[in-house]
Amino acid sequence: MAKTIKAIIFDVDGTLLDSVDLHAQAWVEAFGHFGVTVSHAAARSQIGKGGDQLMPVFLDRDRVARDGKAIESYRSDLFKRKFRSEVRPFPGVRPLFERLRGEGLTLALASSGKAEEVEHYQQVLDIADLVDVVTTSDDAERSKPYPDIFEAALAKLAPIGAAESLVIGDTPYDAEAAKKAGLTTIGVRCGGFPEADLRAAGCIALYRDPQDILDGYAASPLAG
């Protein structure tokens, strides 16, 4: 890549953390609590979106308007109580962040999760001291695949712009949102999304997980 990269914007769930199946199960159980049957596979295919974009896939507009906030609140509490303690980092996260900081890059997180959740995950990942910018659902009106979260990250990264930044994410929704914000995306397969879907959404390169990016760093788009 000819352009000079100055900032890397990371998605969190499924990219840095092995949490996609846990989030999917929390949605399955939350929907079930409200009398809606959703399969694990169907829920999993939508992880990467925030609740505002995920619920309309399974509920009609009236049901979202009537019960959406209650379902999301129940799911959030359920995940925190039952599943969050099981979330683990993917291999190589801190060493990758250390390498990137050593190269002089500015590092950002852009997650559809809530601020408290993302703060907790920075501790789980042991990267709080390496992160320069954090954007969460609190910074965005709409979640991915809308570009709001990435646009909020770019606002905080200024004067570094989209042309000098790269996104690393695990879902087509990351790549779609990034493209709308003028950003280029590197995909990781550790979130479980098909390689073909990631490429179709615009990912310029694919890696297994953060460790794979680190191992192939010299030949990656990150190296400039």
CATH of 20-86, picked from 1.10.10, 3.40.50, 3.30.70, 1.10.150, is: 1.10.150
pLDDT at 44: 97
Query: Residue range 105-128: average pLDDT?
Result: 95
Query: Residue range 5-31: average pLDDT?
Result: 97
The pLDDT > 90 percentage for the chain reads 95
Q: Which helix (H) or strand (E) holds 185?
A: strand 184-188
At residue 153 the predicted structure's pLDDT band, cuts being 50, 70 and 90, is very high
pLDDT at 3: 67
DSSP 162: G
pLDDT at 113: 85
Of the listed ranges 62-66, 98-102, 143-147, the least confidently predicted one is 143-147
pLDDT in tens, 43-78: 999 999 999 999 999 999 999 999 999 999 999 999
- How far apart (Å, rounded) are the C-alpha atoms in residues 32 and 63? 14
7-19+88-223: CATH number: 3.40.50.1000
At residue 112 the predicted structure's pLDDT band, cuts being 50, 70 and 90, is confident
Assess whether pLDDT exceeds 70 at residue 126.
Answer: yes
Query: Residue range 114-124: average pLDDT?
Result: 94
Q: What is the pTM of this model?
A: 0.94
- How far apart (Å, rounded) are the C-alpha atoms in residues 69 and 67? 6
DSSP 137: G
Residue 81, both tokens: 């109580």
Asked if 167 and 139 count as a contact pair (C-beta separation under 8 A), the reply is: no
Assess whether pLDDT exceeds 80 at residue 13.
Answer: yes
pLDDT in tens, 167-188: 999 999 999 999 999 999 999 9
Asked if 161 and 154 count as a contact pair (C-beta separation under 8 A), the reply is: yes
Domain range summary for the chain, segments of one domain joined by +:
7-19+88-223, 20-86
Helix (H, G, I), strand (E, B) or coil at 153: helix
